[in-house]
Amino acid sequence: MKRMMIVLTVLLAATGCGKKIPEPENVTVTSTQNVTDLKAATTVQNVHDEDFRVKTFVKGNSVFVECYLNGYSFSGDDSKRLATVSVLIDNQKKIDMHTAAFILKDIPRGLHKIKLEVLKDSGQKTGLKKEIEVHITTSM
């Protein structure tokens, strides 16, 4: 009887160890977002997605943002026009960014709308906008 229990235990353990590893349930990945608490990015204005693309990632109470622009540059080295990204959180202007990638830190817990608007070097609007909803669940 003892031997049969050992054989059964070994067989059950062997059948449970398959090649398929289950996906984690707490993380979902979409084309523009990479966290379950992050809503999909939506275009506010009808512009081509190739002209202004945004990738975001939420970690703790910080939002990592990466911008891809066609026809604009963030450095003076390129022959393209210089651009600035104006950042508004919950319709309040926070900062103007002069880099393609940046981190928005210390965002309070809750659901927030982040609006990104591309401005020319002179400060005029280009018409390129993105609006993203993020849900901050921790205040680390």
Query: Long-range contact list for 88-94, CB < 8 A, 24+ apart?
Result: 88/114, 88/115, 88/116, 88/117, 89/113, 89/114, 89/115, 91/115
CA distance 103 to 55: 12
Question: Is pTM beyond 0.75 here?
Answer: no
CA distance 117 to 91: 12
For 44, which DSSP code?
A: S
Number of H helices, E strands in the chain: 1, 8
Q: Which residue has the higher pLDDT, 3 or 118?
A: 118
Q: Is the pLDDT of residue 13 over 60?
A: yes
pLDDT digits (tens, 9 = 90+) for 19-75: 554 544 443 333 333 333 333 333 333 345 678 899 999 998 899 999 988 888 887
User: Helix/strand/coil (H, E, C) string of 88-122?
Assistant: EECCEEEEEECCCEEEECCCCCEEEEEEEEEEECC
